[in-house]
Amino acid sequence: MDKLILPPEEIRSLGRAAVEQIAAYYDTLDERPVLIPTTSRALRDLLDEPLPQNGMDFDTLLRILDEVIARYSRHSAHPRFFGYISSPGTPVTSVGAMLAAALNINVTCWRSGPAATDLEHVTIDWMKQILGYPAQAGGLLVSGGSMANFAALAAARSAKATGNVVRDGVAAAGRMCAYVSSAGHFSISKAAGMLGIGEANVRSVPTNAQMQIDLTALERLVQQDLAAGYRPFCLVANAGTTATGAFDPIGELAEFARRHQLWLHVDAAYGGFAALAPAMRPLFAHIAEADSVALDPHKWLYLPVGCGCVLYRDPATAHAAFSHAADYTRAIGLERDEAFAFWDYGPELSRPFRALDLWLLVKYVGAARLAQAVEQNLDCARYFGELVEASGDCELLAPVGLSIFCFRYAPRGYTGDLNALNERILVKLQRAGSSYLSNAMVHGKFALRGCVLNYRTTRRDMEVLLEDVRRAYLDLT
Ligand SMILES: Cc1ncc(COP(=O)(O)O)c(C=O)c1O
């Protein structure tokens, strides 16, 4: 049998075995440790081999996948995985990955994938509807929040530079600088570095007690830059910071940006889908005033890794930053919508069919159920905040922002270094495998940090988490 050209019955047999494994994985998630500690050496010993010349049977490969890859993975779909900002993925998109790979559409432009391109436009419209972003806005799916922030800053740079920055480079545009709160994500500085603006020219604006951008400090920094001959061009608002979930006041920042002719970009990579929860909608009241928005379906819309989204209020600004014409990409015999190319609006040429997952999930599950899941996540985080406040041995280090909580273990009468103690608790907790937190620094204090981003997580899981933290402490002493 030629394994590249399989007969249909063989494809069915591979598919059945793989789907069986997927179902078993989801079925046993709750019983697995979130993480089994191991080392890179141990994994290399299990996986290393010379380039295999001959194929092997699929069942053996599935067994390796289960016994090595799955076993030694950190399970972001586990109900008590609270680390970073990680989505759990969903069963329907697991199956969707198979279907997308079979179609293998390279969604570069309409003619490369007519239906896939229109499907992406449809899903982008849904993203706008969720946020309350203008209908005439444009956008596209990218690999994640970092790439969405990069694309937005590239559009901002072109829109606000004097002259043609894409053709002539940033040197001709003067010393451009941007502003984001000190709680902003590092992908903003990284984008500035890649775009030739320079990481040092992203001003880190101090925050207030709620970890929101301090508008007085922002005004001071802009005035200093103007006096020093810089060209302020972009203000980034956080719609849910990575460390604490803080939400900057978008309306006030929009007004500030207008006054100073700055491009307003909203990094809603984490917090954007909080807009699905009616109680959170007021936070998004002014989102339509933003020039661009980054949001990540692969965070709080539960999609598997690989799906971010950037929205541009005026798509022409993105076109000015990205459009390119080459002989080999020229659309012949096509006009308007059929001549549309994603590479004119973002950095990539070859692109996977990201919209399939998004479409499958929303169509299969429905936005109402997704909104309910987001509300449940918000409730779990709030509930954990209450548990901590009532605990007597833990303290909250920041207000519970959206679904993120930051706290530390602080036993009564403890006179040692609480930062060092909590670092040790974190490592102990992660290695124990029942619950998983990550860390953050909040006002100089080491915080145990969690983000509820899983539709499986319940209030009971939050109670177990607190018990696990206490057990980790006891295991240290
Ligand atoms: C606020 C914010 N922006 C951007 C990013 C980057 O997203 P990605 O990891 O998808 O590149 C993150 C990641 O956690 C984030 O929290």
Distance CA 181, CA 203 (A): 8
Distance CA 397, CA 399 (A): 7
* 93 Cβ below 6 A of ligand 1: no
Q: How much distance in Å is there from the Cα of 42 to the middle of ligand 1?
A: 31
Q: What pLDDT is stored for residue 145 in this prediction?
A: 98
Query: What sign has the CA pseudo-torsion 252, 256, 261, 262?
Result: negative
Whose Cα sits closest to atom 4 in ligand 1? 145
Q: Which amino acid is at 316?
A: A
Give the DSSP letter of residue 282: G
Distance CA 122, CA 143 (A): 18
Distance CA 139, CA 148 (A): 10
3-class DSSP state of 66: helix
Q: Which residues contact 273 (CB under 8 A, 6 or more apart)?
A: 130, 295, 297, 299, 300, 301, 370, 374
The per-residue DSSP string of 142-198 comes to ESSHHHHHHHHHHHHHHHHSSS-HHHH-GGGG--EEEEEETTS-HHHHHHHHHTTS-
* 203 Cβ below 6 A of ligand 1: no
Ligand 1 pocket test, candidate residues 299, 310, 439, most atoms within 8 A of CB: 299
Distance CA 411, CA 470 (A): 10
Give the DSSP letter of residue 27: H
Taking each helix axis as running N to C, give the angle between helix 459-476 and helix 418-432, from 0 to 180 degrees, rounded to the nearest 10.
110
* 247 Cβ below 6 A of ligand 1: no
Considering the entire predicted model, what is its pTM? Answer: 0.97
Antiparallel, parallel or unpaired: β 308-312 and 138-142: antiparallel
Q: How much distance in Å is there from the Cα of 269 to the middle of ligand 1?
A: 6
Whose Cα sits closest to atom 8 in ligand 1? 145
Considering just the CA atoms, what is the radius of gyration of the chain in Å?
Answer: 24
Give the DSSP letter of residue 303: P
Q: What pLDDT is stored for residue 241 in this prediction?
A: 98
Q: Which amino acid is at 301?
A: L
pLDDT one digit per residue (tens) for the chain, 477 residues: 899 999 999 999 999 999 999 999 999 999 999 999 999 999 999 999 999 999 999 999 999 999 999 999 999 999 999 999 999 999 999 999 999 999 999 999 999 999 999 999 999 999 999 999 999 999 999 999 999 999 999 999 999 999 999 999 998 889 999 999 999 999 999 999 999 999 999 999 999 999 999 999 999 999 999 999 999 999 999 999 999 999 999 999 999 999 999 999 999 999 999 999 999 999 999 999 999 999 999 999 999 999 999 999 999 999 999 998 777 667 777 777 898 999 999 999 999 999 999 999 999 999 999 999 999 999 999 999 999 999 999 999 999 989 999 999 999 999 999 999 999 999 999 999 999 999 999 999 999 999 999 999 999 999 999 999 999 999 997
Q: How many residues belong to the chain?
A: 477
* 242 Cβ below 6 A of ligand 1: yes
Element (H, E) at 139: strand 138-142
Distance CA 127, CA 324 (A): 26
Fold held by 367-476: Aspartate Aminotransferase, domain 1 (3.90.1150)
Q: Which residue matches tokens 């007969």?
A: 7
Please, what is the Cα angle at 360 between 114 and 288, to 5 degrees?
A: 80
Q: What pLDDT is stored for residue 324 in this prediction?
A: 86
Taking each helix axis as running N to C, give the angle between helix 459-476 and helix 367-389, from 0 to 180 degrees, rounded to the nearest 10.
40
Please, what is the Cα angle at 460 between 459 and 465, to 5 degrees?
A: 100
Q: How much distance in Å is there from the Cα of 241 to the middle of ligand 1?
A: 9
- State phi, psi for 249 to the nearest 5 degrees: -75, 100
3-class DSSP state of 227: helix
* 189 Cβ below 6 A of ligand 1: no
CATH 3.30.420.10 fits 106-352, yes or no: no
Q: What pLDDT is stored for residue 337 in this prediction?
A: 86
Ligand 1 pocket test, candidate residues 187, 265, 303, most atoms within 8 A of CB: 187
In the chain, CATH 3.90.1150.170 sits at 367-476
Q: What pLDDT is stored for residue 348 in this prediction?
A: 97
> Across the beta sheet with 176-181, what order do the strands follow?
138-142, 308-312, 292-295, 263-268, 231-238, 176-181, 202-205
Nearest to 296 by CA among 130, 468, 408, 107: 130
3-class DSSP state of 203: strand
Whose Cα sits closest to atom 16 in ligand 1? 242
Q: Are 265 and 234 in contact (CB under 8 A)?
A: yes
Q: Which residue matches tokens 């998983």?
A: 436
Name the CA dihedral angle for 180, 181, 183, 189, rounded to a multiple of 10 degrees: 30
3-class DSSP state of 199: helix
Segments of 298-430 assigned E as strands: 308-312, 394-396, 404-409
Atom of ligand 1 nearest to the CA of 85: 14
Q: Are 456 and 378 in contact (CB under 8 A)?
A: no
In the chain, CATH 3.40.640.10 sits at 106-352
Q: Work out the burial of residue 404: count CB atoms within 10 Å of its CB; fewer than 13 is exposed, 13-18 middle, 19 or more buried.
A: buried
Burial state string for 274-305 with b = 16 or more CB within 10 A and e = fewer than 16 = bbbbeebeebbebbbbbbbbbbbbbbbbbbbe
Whose Cα sits closest to atom 7 in ligand 1? 145
